[in-house]
Amino acid sequence: MRNSPLRETVLHALGWVQVWTSHFLICLTVGSLLLQVFSREVGWQVDWTEELARFSFLVMVFTTASFASGRMTHLRVSVFSDFASRWAVSKWIVEKLQLACILAFDGLFCWYATANVIEGFRYPTISPSLGFNESLLFIAPASFFAIAIVQRLLRLPDGADADGGVLPT
Amino acid sequence: MSATQLSLAVLFPALLVLGVPIYAALGLTGFAVAYFTDSPMLFASQTILNGVNQYPLLAIPAFILAGNLMEQGGITRHIVGIFRHMFGHIRGSLGMVTIFACMFFAAISGSGPGTAAAIGGIMIPAMIRYGYPPAYAAAVAATGGTLGVLIPPSNPMIIYGLIANASIRDLFIAGVMPGLLIGLALAGVAYGMARYHRVETIDSEVGGEGWKRLAWLVWDGKAALALPVLVLGGIYSGIFTPVEASIMAVAYAFLVGRFAYKSLEPAKLKVAFERTHMISGALMIVVACSTLFARVITFERIPQALMTAFSTQASDAVGVLLLINLLLLIIGCFMETMSAIIILTPILVPLVKSFGIDPVHFGMILIVNVEIAFLTPPLGVNLFVAAQIAGIKIEKMFMAVLPFLLALLAMLALITLVPELSLWLPRLLR
């Protein structure tokens, strides 16, 4: 399993989806806000730009979170766990507990985000400018947290089951 | 003790100590409380999504992207070149140059470690080459980098403003005076410490002496120098909102790096984008999950309980602020700063408001504490960044960074005791 070409292909494809979706969304956010500034200066009535920027940003939060998770870089308090990881046994326990907690949250959020999508079809919340069903935004956390879960599970044979470290913000 | 209180007092700290990513610790605690209080779990996930459904938050990934584009596009190199030429002829001045370059870079970037990495990447090797002790070189860059969060624009200020319901524009204006004061104090300490280390070298890499050369450097770096004018001038004059200013910064940094300096090649663009995704992805999911946590805190009336506890310990605003400073300094040693702001702001702001403290003034105090936290071990992020660039062990930096920490603590006391330092400019420009 560790060196399986299928596993490498799947991991590569998932990483590709994460990074290129994030690229597209940040360009869409920046582009629509630039259009907003420009259209205001020339007196055009473009009232959907802010909504489009907000929605693309919302989706981007979850695609980039999934991307950061795929690169094992998340904010965490590492002082105590690093200390505990000096010994092989405690390191193993800490890493497994961390992995269990990450999978538990990712799984819960993915599950309830999917439930919100289903709920959204029954009781849609329509945005004023674009006429978009805002509940569909939950597709982003549902799908990209599912990707993050699959990535973590596929990387288990490598022993890379805990986060890499503190990321400077 | 109820199940909710148990989750907050035991589960959340346990998850943090275990080193679980903060977003998961916040989220799991929120889900646990929702489960124990029979609240619908659907609402819990809606709260997480709605936590980032706030328009001003768009500025954060945009400022992060602008900073990365500037670094990859060579804008940083031009800024450093100008300051080296201005002060490089003074003996032992490279530390001072580093602080000034950080101050300028801070007016474009909103990140502390980002500033330390961008300026330190150029100045630390230069200082070491000129005979400055590596620990001193790393300490100066680490300290200068902290100005990234105080001198506007500032990512922590945006987060604080949203949570505290304070005007982000006012916070940005309020950061100018303390930022300049702290920058000058740190430059003084950097120069004094260089003289103490008997560094007598002159920077000879900046080319010929004189105003002509400086004028040429300024002309060559005009595109880089215009960026803070565009960002801050746009916000203060009311032409742009902070979000629009961040977007303009992205567009400008891209155009300058790609077409004016011609150094932003596709490969560097890719690096800038991927770094932005990693940093903003890790950060924004914490913001999202903290909304759920903040709701739990409010539901449990924790700010009110804290208010009662503080009222018994301190009778006036100054006493409360001193206690809070002490608390923040301790927490800053162990917790990543942005996460500390996200978790503590909903608890502390109602408390300081009840003592009649202006939230903008408190915002400045919080941000200076964040600055100090970037330098306090074991989790001083700027120490890691600078030590890595200097190629030294982090332990070697502890003594070197101490004079700068003392200066920052003195400035924190000044900013705490003199609210006008923070509030004068916002009132003037209102």
Q: What is the 3-state secondary structure (H, E, C) of chain B?
A: CCHHHHHHHHHHHHHHHHCCCHHHHHHHHHHHHHHHCCCCHHHHHHHHHHHCCCHHHHHHHHHHHHHHHHHHCCHHHHHHHHHHHHHCCCCCCHHHHHHHHHHHHHCCCCCHHHHHHHHHHHHHHHHHHCCCCHHHHHHHHHHHHCHHHHCCCCHHHHHHHHHHCCCHHHHHHHCHHHHHHHHHHHHHHHHHHHHHCCCCCCCCCCCCCCHHHHHHHHHHCHHHHHHHHHHHHHHHCCCCCHHHHHHHHHHHHHHHHHHHCCCCCHHHHHHHHHHHHHHHHHHHHHHHHHHHHHHHHHHCCHHHHHHHHHHHHCCCHHHHHHHHHHHHHHHHHHCCHHHHHHHHHHHHHHHHHHCCCCHHHHHHHHHHHHHHHCCCCCCCHHHHHHHHHHCCCHHHHHHHHHHHHHHHHHHHHHHHHCCHHHHHHHHHHC
Query: CB distance A98–B31 less than 8 Å?
Result: no
Best to test chain B binding among A29, A71, A77 (most B CBs inside 10 Å) = A77
CB within 8 Å: B18 and A101:
yes
pLDDT band at B96 (very low <50, low <70, confident <90, very high): very high
For residue B204, the model assigns a pLDDT of: 61
* pLDDT tens, residue by residue, A45-69: 888 999 999 999 999 999 999 998 8
Tens of pLDDT, residues B284-317: 898 888 888 878 877 777 777 777 777 777 778 8
Contact flag A74-B21 (C-beta cutoff 8 Å)? yes
Burial letters B332-366, b for 16+ CB under 10 A, else e: bebbbbbbbbbbbbbbbbbbbbebebbbbbbbbbb
A28 chain-B contacts, CB cut-off 8 A: none
Could you give the CA distance from residue A103 to residue A148 in angstroms, rounded to a whole number? 9
Asked if B278 lies within 8 A of A62 by C-beta distance, the reply is no
A contacts of B247 (beta carbons < 8 Å): 30, 33-34, 37
Q: Which residues of chain B does A22 touch, with a Cβ-Cβ cutoff of 8 Å?
A: 273, 277, 281
A-chain residues within 8 Å CB-CB of B250? Answer: 30
Summarize pLDDT for B245-277 with one digit per residue, the tens. 889 999 999 999 999 888 889 999 999 999 899
Nearest residue of B to residue A99, measured between CA atoms? B20
Residue among B329, B315, B367 nearest B345 (CA): B367
Q: Which residue has the higher pLDDT, B189 or A163?
A: B189
Which chain A residues touch B288 with a CB distance below 8 Å? 61, 65
Closest residue in chain B to residue A55, using alpha carbons only = B53
Contact B381, A166 (CB under 8 A): yes
Task: State how far residue B111 is from chain A, nearest Cα, in angstroms.
Answer: 6
| pLDDT over 90 at B424, yes or no | yes
Q: List chain B residues with CB under 8 Å of A161.
A: none
| Average pLDDT of chain A, as a whole number | 87
Give residue-wise pLDDT tens across range B142-178: 999 999 889 988 888 998 998 899 999 899 999 999 9
Q: Which residue is closest to A54 within chain B, CA to CA? A: B55
Per cent of chain B over pLDDT 90 is: 32
Is residue A55 within 8 A of residue A32, CB to CB? The reply is no
Segment B220-224 mean pLDDT: 81
ipTM of the complex: 0.90
Q: What is the mean pLDDT of residues B406-417?
A: 96
Over the stretch A105-142, which tens digit does the pLDDT of each residue have? 999 999 999 999 999 999 998 998 889 999 999 999 99
Distance linking the first and last C-alpha atoms of chain B: 48
Residue B330 scores a pLDDT above 80: yes
Least-confidence region, from A15-24, A76-85, B24-33, B53-62: A76-85
The pLDDT of residue A161: 47
Pick from A30, A78, A109: CB nearest B19? A78
Average pLDDT, chain B: 87
pLDDT band at A162 (very low <50, low <70, confident <90, very high): very low
How much is the average pLDDT of B349-357? Answer: 90
Say if residues B154 and B64 touch (Cβ distance below 8 Å): no
- The pLDDT value given to residue B397: 87
Full-model pTM: 0.84
Using an 8 Å CB-CB cutoff, list chain B residues near A101.
15, 18, 20, 24-25, 28
- pLDDT value at residue B70: 86
Local confidence band at B208 (pLDDT 50, 70, 90 cut-offs)? low
Place B241 in a pLDDT band, splitting at 50, 70 and 90. confident
In this complex, the residue of B49, B279, B378 whose CB is nearest that of residue A167 is: B279
Q: Best residue in A75, A133, A134, A144 to probe B by mutation, most B CBs within 10 Å?
A: A75
Question: What is the average pLDDT across B185-202?
Answer: 88
Position B429 scores a pLDDT of: 81
